[in-house]
Structures are given as structure tokens and as C-alpha cells.
A and B are shown apart, each in its own frame.
Chain A
Amino acid sequence: MRRFLICAIVCAVVWGAQYHFPDAIQPVVYAGLMLVVPMTLANALSGSGIPAHVIPLLLGFLASGSGLRHAGAFIAAAPFAELAQAWVGLYLGACFSYHRIHSKNLGAATLLSLGATFAPAALALFLFLDVSAVQAIRLGLLAAMSGPMFTLMSQPDRREALSFSLLATMLGLSCWFVVDLIVSTPDLYRVIPSLLMWVAGVELIARITHTVRTGQGGQVLFGAIVATLFVCAQAMHISPLFLALVTGAGVSARSGRSGHSLRAMEPLAVPLSHVVLVYFAVSLDLSGLLGFSALHWKILVIYVAAMLLGKTVGGLTAVRYAGLFLRDWSQTLPQGVVVFILLPEVFPSGSDQAIGDGLTASVVLTCGIVIPLLMAPVLYVSDRMDRRRIPNNVGQ
């Protein structure tokens, strides 16, 4: 009850302030709100079986619809959300364990999952709908990616699930990058210096994070690294989340063990994931859902069907050959942040902005909220069966 009271007081203060003096609201107010409310509610509902990532998404959609935001100040809060993205991305990248993938056949299972999702989705979209080849490929890749941030929030102790989810997403992102290179044909001489700078940055981060070991000093250092990644991403006009993700993976590879030097970022990674999800969910305009055409419904149906099919095939293979559990496989299904960031790239400014937002919202609603909520009772029953099976086996 006290948790709800905290949320109610903070929301009431912000609502009253933006109702009476909207111009005086600082962006940091929303940053605080995005930190307090989802964290408090997630803590209050932790025993209910609802996946942790569903709460910030739902809260964001509710806030977007109810008007609990002042548009100007909320847009100005974007740097905080992007800093949070960089923090979470760096930590997730550092969690990328090469040893685990090699030792448990996760790599093969992920490749199978990626192919089994990408191929039917891209083919169906290209053949049956009025979608260009590049758009179909991008949508197929998007369907094949997972939500590692969701896994981090819902099942932070499941390292296999996180590795599976991370690998699928990073492979998908790499393919996306290759498609981008082919389509936009940039000058390679511009890409190579950037890559060299990135390698130098990874080396510097790996060295500097190994030297600082005090608790508070470490957090300040991580904050400084995240802020640097953020301004670099701004200067290079790329997403801070993706830059941080690959940088984290680079540092992990350089360290030789999974996220060795960046492990101390963990305590803040989950709370900041809430900020990221709430920010993306609030930013969406849900009115686009009302203006859906038949084409959009078809895209949604093919996208979700291909995703379920491909990930089930990949998941079952991983359960059979890579020692993955059902609970781990269920963590590869939800999608959110990559959809928020990359789906608008598939349908650029030519198409209606509201419809694009609507499509993003519908994919997130289906893959980020509905499917995880439907999976929750299945996982509960599966867990109960496992628990019953263990005493029976012990008895025999």
C-alpha cells in the first residue's frame, strides 16, 4: 500500500505542476518520475507473476494516453533516456559471453532461430504484400531479434537466456548494418576511421575500468564512460544504445571473461531499463492504431506469426541440444526496444508518422505485452510440473 502511496504522491505533484506551470518543468522531473513510478510498482507487483518489463511498457502507454506529460519538457528529457540506454547497452554488451556460446551450442541454436524467423517473414512480406525487398528483409531481421533488456529485467539470473537473446539481437543488428551498407553505399574510407576509433575506445575503456575498483569511484567512472558514449553517439548520429551494446561486447571480448570489468554496472542496469522502456512507450502516439489499413494488419499478422514460428523452432532446438530451459526460451519471444528504434527506419518519413507510430505500438503491444502475459501462466504450470517431478524422482 505504501508503494502505491509513494507513486500517487509523486504523480500528483508532477501532474499539478505541469497543469499549473508547464513552462517551468525541467526535464529532470520526468527523469525522476520515470525512475520512481515503474520501479516502485514493479517492486509491488514482483510476486504477481507479471513479467517485470510489462509494467513500464503499460505505464508508458497509460501516461501517453492520459496526458501525464508536457510535450516540450518531455522531449527535453530525451538525453536522460539516452544516457540510460547507453548504460543498459554497455552492461548488456558486456554480458555477452563468448565462452558460454561456444560451450553450449547456443550459437548454432541462435543461428537456426534467426534463419527460421527471418526467411519466412521476409519471404511472406515480399511475396504476399506490397512491400519492397529491402523493407521485407529489414522486417524479417527485426522479427528475428529478441529483447535482451526484457530478459535482464524479468530473469536477471538466467545467463543462458540472456546470452541467447543477446546473440540473436546482435546477429540481427549486424545483418541490419550490412544491409544498410549495401543499400546506402557509404564511402568505405569514412567507415574505417570510425572503426579504428571504436577499437581504440574499447581498449581505453578496458584498461581504465580495470584500474578503478572502489565502489563509488567505479560508478562515477561508468557514468563518465556512458556520458562519453552518449555524446559520441550524438556526434556520429547513431543510437547510443547500439553504440554502447557493441562497445560492451568489445570490452567483454577484450576482458576475456563475461563483462569482467563492467560487472559493477549491474545494480543500476535494471532500474535504468525501466526508464528506457517508459520513455519509449510514452513517446508513442497511440492514435495511429485507429487509422490502420488492411496492409498494416497483414504486416502485423505475418510479423507475429513468423516470429512465433521461427523462435519456437530455434527455441526447441536450443532446449534439445544447448541445455536451454523452457523459461529461457520464453525470454526470447518478447520484443520492445529494437522495435521502438528500428521499426520507424523501415517505414521512413514518406509514410504517415501516426501510422508508423501505430504499427510500432501494435508490435510492442503484441510482442512485448500480450505474448509475455500469455506465456506467464504457461511458465507457471511448467514450473509447478517441474517441482512435482523432482520429488517423484527423488522418491524413486
Chain B
Amino acid sequence: MQFIASFYVIYAICLICRNLFVRRKLAAPLDSLRTSHLHFVPIGLAVGFILSMENSPAAIVGDIKEGLLGVILVWFGIVTGLRFDFRRLGRRASRDHALEGLQVLGTAALVFFLALLWRPVLRYQMGIAAEPALVALLLATLATTLRMPDRVFHVRSDLSTPGVENAPAGPLITNAAGMTLLTVLYPYCAGGTVLELGPLTLVSIGSFWALIACVGVLLGLLLTLIFSTFQDDVLCAIVATGTVATVGGLCAGKAIPGIVVGFISGVWFINTTTRRRDALEILEKTTGILQPVFFLVLGALLVTQNLTVLRLTAFTLLFLVARSLARGISLAVAARVTRCPLSLTDIIGSALRPLGTLSVALAAQLLLLDSGPNLYALIGAVMIAAAIGQVIPLPKPRDAAG
């Protein structure tokens, strides 16, 4: 009875909070958190805590959590890949692409080498025993990623979505460029992994890369086939989700980076499908459902871990500072190289852009690739960093200030 009553309490609290949200306009920082779905993490924490009280449901849910996480990661990979629509990108000035690409490259390189330098801190202070190069690569990639769709708020203003298509240093391909880096470099940084796939034993970097590419293209082909076969939106969404579940479950089982597989399939799909607009709409709707589920699952996973607040805080602050510096420095250098005039406010604004769902997903991907209780600390820290980033107002650009 207590078990069921606890769920009722959660529902009642959600109902009260929801009614309060409807009646009062939320302050911009809280609205920013709400749109990022991060408010589902505390709900997930509460649910995880209640589930841990009762043995049989906890065991059942525990069995499916990993697979579910794998599927959601593949989905986020696909959604990121959809941003690499070559026709759409061709409309933007190449100088802007170069600026953004160079910023991503610079940020990733700086954070990667910083993470390698801090290897002893990560290993002995944070207790992350995973392959150092892999951890560094994932940290570097997630440092480059941003919340998408990009929503910002300035001091004393509401949350807004800036027009990024034509603005210099506006994030259009940032996440996709970061994921491309991860896709290319993953086999090099994964360490001496030997993967046995039935009669095949994959040992070389090339074969591992070929496997990821093949699975990604296969999933992309299936998605293209599904969207060209079914005209009904709901049917398309359901069959696509089922296909992603099948492939994502296999990736999670064989420790193949599902997020990379999803990214490759997303790029393939968006550049081959004839129903681009419908597909984007359908997949976006499904993403809107999967994001809360993702944060709920992560919350439920985190609550059962023994996390130290000091560790979390230290890593969060360290990561936020390193990321902001790397983003700011690399943008300044990129602006100089591409001869794109940017003010200091633009650079600070870009440096402080918040992390998004993809960033947390990249941290969660490490959980499926490597094992170790302290990886949860990394995920928790990235989530806190994302939450902090989303409540910090950006400085007003000069034209907007006037």
C-alpha cells in the first residue's frame, strides 16, 4: 500500500506544480529548464527511489532499463544526423560554416587534451576507470554540443529562439559537426577492443569503423524504406520506432556506440528521403516523447548509485569552466582565421551556450560502452552542468541591447 501511495503522492505533486505553472508565467531561467525537460530528472529520482523499496518491480524494470537507454541513444543520434541536410546547409554562407566548424574543432581539441592531461584526476579522484582516450573523446564531443533547438535568454528578457540560419556564429551544424568528430575518431580511441560477431572477429580500426558505418547505413535504409512505404504519420512513427528499438537493442547488447550508428543513419536518411518535411515533423514529435522518458530513466538509474556531492560539484565546475574557455578561445581564433568580425559579447554569448539533451546522451553512452559505478558520477555531473548552463542568462548582443 505504501508503495502505491508513494506514486499517488508524486502524481499529486506534479498536478499541483502543473496548475501553478499554468496560472503564473514562469521566470525565464525556470522556463529554460522546463523546455529542456530537465525537470523530469527529479521525478525520475523519486520514481527510482520508490521502485527500489519494492523488490519485484525494481527487478523487472532493472532488466529493461539498459536496452531502453540504448534505443533512446540511437534515436538522439538520428535526430542529430537530421541536421546534416546537405541541401539546407548549402544555402548558408561557407564562411559561417567554416567559423562554426573551426570552433567545434578547436573546442574538441582543447577539451580532449585537457581531459588527457587530467587523466590522473579523472581516474584517481573521480574514479572513472574507463579507457582514458574514450572518456576524453566523449568529453570533448559533449563539450562541443549545444541545446537544440537553440533557446537563449538574456538578462531581464524572456526565453527566445534566435534565428540561427544566417547569423554568424549561430549554431546550425555544431552538434552534427561534433558527432562527425566522434564518428571518425571513435574507433581510434575505443582502445584495444576485440568484437566478436559470430564468425567475424573485428580487431582493426578499419573493420570496426566499417561495422558502425554498415549498421548506420542499414538503419538509414530501413528508415527511408519505411517513410516511402507508409503514408500514415502515426504508422510511420510506430514502425520507425520499432525498427530503431530492434537495432538499438542489438547495439546496446554488443557495446556498439548506438549514438554514432543513429547519427550515420540520420545523415543517410535525411539526404535520401523524399518526405523530408513530414519525416522531420514526425521524428520531432516522437523525440518530444522520448526526451522526458530519457531523463526519467536516467533519474531512476542515478538514485540507486552512491554519488558524492563533492565529486559531482568539483567535476561540474571543472568541466563548465574548461568548456566555456575552450569554446570562447576557439571561436576567437576561428573568427580571426575566417576574418569574421565578432564582438566580445558574441564570443562570451557563444561560450556560455548551454549543454543539451545530446550532451547528456553522450555521457550516458559511456555507460553502455564501458562499465564502472563511477560513470554515473560523470552522467550526474554533465546533467548538473546542463542545468546550470540553462539558467545562466547570456549577455545582450550590441544590436539587441540598443
Contacts and interface: CB of A to CB of B under 8 A. Distances in A.
Contact of B293 (A32, A197, A220, A231): A220
Contacts of B293: 220, 223
A124 B338 CA distance: 90
Given A79-B63, A219-B289, A268 B238 contact: yes
Given A2-B225, A16-B198, A26 B249 contact: yes
A25 B249 CA distance: 7
A200 B7 CA distance: 12
B49 to A, nearest CB: 13
B64 A76 contact: yes
A193 interface: yes
Q: Which of B56, B63, B66 has the most CB of A within 10 A?
A: B63
Interface string B2-38: 0111011001101100110010000000000000000
Chain B contact-residue range equals: 35 or more
Contacts of A13: 218, 246-247, 250
Given A25-B253, A36-B242, A215 B225 contact: no
A36 B230 CA distance: 12
Interface string A34-72: 111001100100000000000000000000000000000
Interface string B69-100: 01100000000000000000000000000000
A2 B63 contact: no
A234 B51 CA distance: 11
Nearest to A225: B11
Contacts of A14: 246, 250
B244 interface: yes
B196 interface: yes
Contacts of A267: 234
Given A201-B8, A220-B289, A26 B242 contact: no
A19 B4 CA distance: 41
Interface in A172-229: 193-194, 197, 200-201, 204, 207-208, 211-212, 215-216, 219-220, 223, 228
A43 B252 contact: no
A308 to B, nearest CB: 35
B64 A232 contact: no
Given A28-B71, A32-B246, A43-B230, A21 B253 contact: yes
Interface string B231-256: 00011001101111111111011100
A31 interface: yes
B367 to A, nearest CB: 14
B341 interface: no
B198 A19 contact: yes
Nearest to A35: B242
A234 B57 contact: yes
Given A80-B64, A208-B15, A32 B235 contact: no
A208 B67 contact: no
Interface string A228-240: 1011101100000
A123 to B, nearest CB: 40
Contact of B285 (A79, A215, A271): A215
A231 B253 contact: no
A24 interface: yes
B250 A29 contact: yes
B249 A43 contact: no
Contacts of A34: 242
A3 interface: yes
B4 A20 contact: no
A232 B7 contact: yes
Contacts of A43: 230, 235
Nearest to A222: B289
For the complex, would chain B's binding face be called helix, strand, loop or mixed by DSSP majority? helix
A9 interface: yes
A231 B53 CA distance: 12
A35 B239 contact: yes
Contacts of A231: 7, 51, 54, 57, 61
A10 B222 contact: yes
Given A21-B254, A27-B67, A29-B246, A6 B54 contact: no
Contacts of A212: 18
B16 to A, nearest CB: 11
A216 B283 CA distance: 12
B292 A211 contact: no
Nearest to B230: A43
A32 B253 contact: no
A22 B8 CA distance: 40
B226 interface: yes
B8 A216 contact: no
Q: Which of B198, B230, B250, B288 has the most CB of A within 10 A?
A: B250
Given A5-B225, A216-B289, A223-B289, A39 B199 contact: no
Contacts of B288: 216
Given A79-B60, A212-B18, 13 more contacts: A2-B228, A13-B250, A21-B197, A24-B250, A25-B249, A26-B70, A26-B253, A28-B248, A28-B252, A29-B67, A31-B249, A39-B239, A216-B289
23 contacts: A3-B229, A6-B239, A9-B218, A10-B222, A10-B243, A13-B247, A17-B253, A24-B254, A25-B249, A25-B253, A26-B249, A27-B64, A28-B71, A36-B239, A78-B60, A79-B60, A193-B1, A208-B14, A219-B289, A220-B289, A220-B293, A234-B60, A235-B3
Interface of A: 2-3, 5-6, 9-10, 13-14, 16-17, 19-21, 24-29, 31-36, 39-40, 43, 76, 78-80, 193-194, 197, 200-201, 204, 207-208, 211-212, 215-216, 219-220, 223, 228, 230-232, 234-235, 267-268, 271
